[in-house]
């Protein structure tokens, strides 16, 4: 009968585990072995058998593998939610990934002017493309859209009034609210209208000598239906300019292509806002644009210069990897190849016939059935809109348990459970991942 005295010492275990030391380092191996011995000691005191040396080494190896595994890992998105916020939103195009590798693996011209041989500015890398694809006079990039809104309000309305409709005081993911951004900027928020109806006259009545701007915030993550009314952007622009005010338009998602052509509701586009006369338009880079996380600001050149000179701009600037990926993504739009090259738009435009063919290929390899389903855009875009799709429902007795086993795989496969069935939607699975999905399903 074994006892606690039979537990080997750490030095003895180290001598028996040179592979762990070589792979993870001596200090990490020692910590893992100590934890394995401590766990065994605690278990033995409750009546459990004392593990053998082999078992202790196996437990230490498992602990080391667990610690070494990164928490930020690639997964396969089979949920059918294209811009899945929890899964990193937009996957990048091959060109965007290549651009990141090119500038990230060595030195770059991030802030260097090759012609002059002197220091340059990072602002210009994406600005030319932004003006080309949106028609704006100028543009700049910060680290996300909330930062862009914060910068615009801080630089242009701090200590003064910013008028916004009550129906546009939205909350985005993580309990982050537009009123909080406005308060942080130092602007004085002036709410007008009601939740469901705000007229142009409401804005006009709120203008005072302290007013700096009118803000329109697109309610991209919810929809109010029924007895509603809102002032057209062109009318808001005319009112703002009549009083010498600035019109700030926060679009949130920022689609550069018309979503209506794919059977979805029309998502407001930056080009439209600029054509209507908005002075500055803010939108995201990692939603419907299909690029990296970024906040994009386009509009009047004089206002963009004011923002670039503000001290806050440095604190929220984009890094070289984001700028490289964003520039490559914008190039797809400039070349008219966004539908073919940008994964988000490939998924949105994918036909149900093509999706069904892939689902049936999965069904040919794994017992299950192909069923009609719905995909969503997600990412706080086009709420309530769905795209027809076909999903694969493997034959499993406990769908939730099977979903958990898929998540525990390598790579993890994220599916969804609906109507007591496990569903995997090929729309959001990259074509090159089909074999991995089938292998994961065979392991259920």
Query: Averaged over 215-235, what is the pLDDT?
Result: 75
* CB burial readout 372-403, b (16+ within 10 A) else e: ebebbbbbbbbeebebebbbbbbebeebeebb
pLDDT on residue 235: 94
Query: Averaged over 264-277, what is the pLDDT?
Result: 95
Q: Is the pLDDT of residue 31 over 60?
A: yes
| Continuous segment of H or E residues that includes residue 213 | strand 211-217
User: DSSP letter string over 133-202?
Assistant: HH--SEEEEESSHHHHHHHHHHHHHTTSEEEEEGGG--EETTTEEHHHHHHHHT-EEEEES-SSB--HHH
At 162-214, the pLDDT tens digits run 999 988 777 666 556 778 888 899 999 999 988 788 899 999 999 999 999 99
Structure-token pair, residue 411: 């790579």
pTM of the full structure: 0.89
- CA–CA separation, 53 and 61 (whole Å): 12
- CA–CA separation, 358 and 430 (whole Å): 11
pLDDT on residue 102: 96
- CA–CA separation, 385 and 380 (whole Å): 11
Residue 390 vs residue 183, higher pLDDT:
390
- Of 216, 158, 214, the closest CA to residue 187 belongs to 158
Q: What is the dihedral of CA 88, 89, 90, 91, to 10 degrees?
A: 30
Query: In this structure, is the dihedral angle defined by the CA atoms of residues 249, 254, 258 and 264, taken in order, positive or negative?
Result: negative
Q: Is the pLDDT of residue 225 over 50?
A: yes
Provide CATH code, domain 92-341.
3.40.640.10
Contacts of 387 (CB under 8 A, 6+ apart): 262, 263, 264, 348, 374, 375, 376, 377, 427
- Strands, DSSP E only, in 38-119? 76-77, 81-83, 112-113, 118-119
User: DSSP letter string over 374-401?
Assistant: EEEEETTBSTT--EEEEEEEE--S-HHH
Q: Is the pLDDT of residue 21 over 80?
A: yes
pLDDT on residue 358: 97
Query: Averaged over 121-145, what is the pLDDT?
Result: 95
pLDDT on residue 43: 87
pLDDT on residue 226: 57
In contact, 346 and 339? CB cutoff 8 Å: yes
CB burial of residue 324 (10 Å; 0-12, 13-18, 19+):
buried
- Residue 315: band (very low, low, confident or very high) from pLDDT cuts 50, 70, 90: very high
At 143-153, the pLDDT tens digits run 999 999 999 99
Q: Is the pLDDT of residue 80 over 90?
A: yes
Q: Is the pLDDT of residue 126 over 90?
A: yes
Q: Is the pLDDT of residue 224 over 90?
A: no
CB neighbours of residue 337 within 10 Å: 14
Window from 44-58, 90-104, 203-217, 288-302 with minimum mean pLDDT: 44-58
Query: Averaged over 431-442, what is the pLDDT?
Result: 96
| Continuous segment of H or E residues that includes residue 289 | none
Question: What is the pLDDT of the chain when averaged over all its residues?
Answer: 92
**Domain range 76-85+345-442, CATH architecture:** Alpha-Beta Complex (3.90)
Query: Averaged over 43-62, what is the pLDDT?
Result: 88
pLDDT on residue 1: 45
pLDDT on residue 254: 83
| Continuous segment of H or E residues that includes residue 25 | none
In contact, 420 and 399? CB cutoff 8 Å: yes
Query: Averaged over 413-431, what is the pLDDT?
Result: 96
Q: Is the pLDDT of residue 2 over 80?
A: no
Query: Averaged over 383-399, what is the pLDDT?
Result: 93
Domain locations along the chain: 4-68, 76-85+345-442, 92-341
Strands 211-217 and 246-252: parallel
């Amino acid at each position: 009968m074994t006892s606690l005295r039979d537990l080997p010492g750490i030095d003895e275990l180290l001598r028996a585990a040179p592979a762990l030391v070589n792979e993870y380092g001596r200090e990490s191996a020692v910590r893992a072995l100590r934890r394995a011995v401590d766990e065994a000691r605690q278990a033995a005191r409750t009546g459990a058998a004392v593990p053998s040396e082999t078992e202790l080494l196996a437990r230490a190896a498992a602990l080391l593998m667990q610690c070494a595994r990164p928490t930020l890992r690639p997964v396969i998105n089979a949920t059918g939610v294209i811009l899945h916020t929890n899964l990193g939103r937009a996957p990048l195009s091959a060109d965007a990934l290549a651009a990141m590798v090119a500038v990230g693996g060595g030195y770059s011209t991030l802030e260097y002017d090759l012609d002059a041989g002197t220091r340059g500015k990072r602002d210009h890398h994406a600005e030319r493309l932004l003006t080309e694809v949106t028609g704006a006079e100028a543009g700049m990039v910060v680290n996300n859209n909330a930062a862009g809104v914060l910068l615009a309000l801080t630089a242009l309305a701090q200590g003064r009034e910013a008028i916004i409709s009550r129906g546009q005081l939205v909350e985005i993911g993580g309990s982050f609210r537009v009123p909080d951004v406005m308060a942080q900027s130092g602007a004085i928020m002036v709410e007008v209208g009601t939740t469901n109806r705000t007229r142009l006259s409401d804005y006009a009545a709120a203008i005072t000598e302290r007013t700096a701007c009118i803000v329109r915030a697109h309610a991209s993550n919810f929809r109010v239906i029924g007895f509603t009314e809102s002032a057209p952007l062109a009318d808001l622009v005319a009112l703002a300019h009549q009083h010498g005010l600035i019109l700030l338009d926060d679009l949130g998602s920022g689609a550069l292509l018309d979503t209506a052509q794919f059977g979805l509701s029309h998502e407001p586009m930056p080009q439209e806002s600029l054509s209507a006369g908005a002075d500055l338009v803010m939108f995201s880079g990692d939603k419907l644009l299909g690029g990296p996380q970024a906040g994009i600001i386009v509009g009047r050149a004089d206002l963009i210069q004011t923002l670039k000179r503000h001290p806050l701009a440095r604190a929220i600037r984009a890094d070289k990897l984001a700028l490289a990926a964003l520039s490559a993504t914008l190039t797809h739009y400039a070349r008219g190849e966004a539908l073919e090259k940008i994964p988000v738009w490939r998924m949105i435009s994918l036909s149900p016939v093509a999706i069904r063919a892939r689902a049936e290929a999965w069904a040919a390899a794994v017992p299950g059935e192909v069923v009609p389903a719905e995909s969503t855009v997600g990412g706080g875009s086009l709420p309530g809109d769905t795209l027809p799709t076909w999903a694969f429902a493997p034959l499993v007795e406990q769908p939730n348990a099977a979903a958990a086993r898929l998540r525990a795989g390598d790579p993890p496969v994220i599916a969804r459970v609906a109507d007591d069935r496990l569903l995997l939607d090929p729309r959001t699975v990259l074509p090159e991942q089909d074999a991995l999905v089938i292998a994961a399903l065979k392991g259920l």
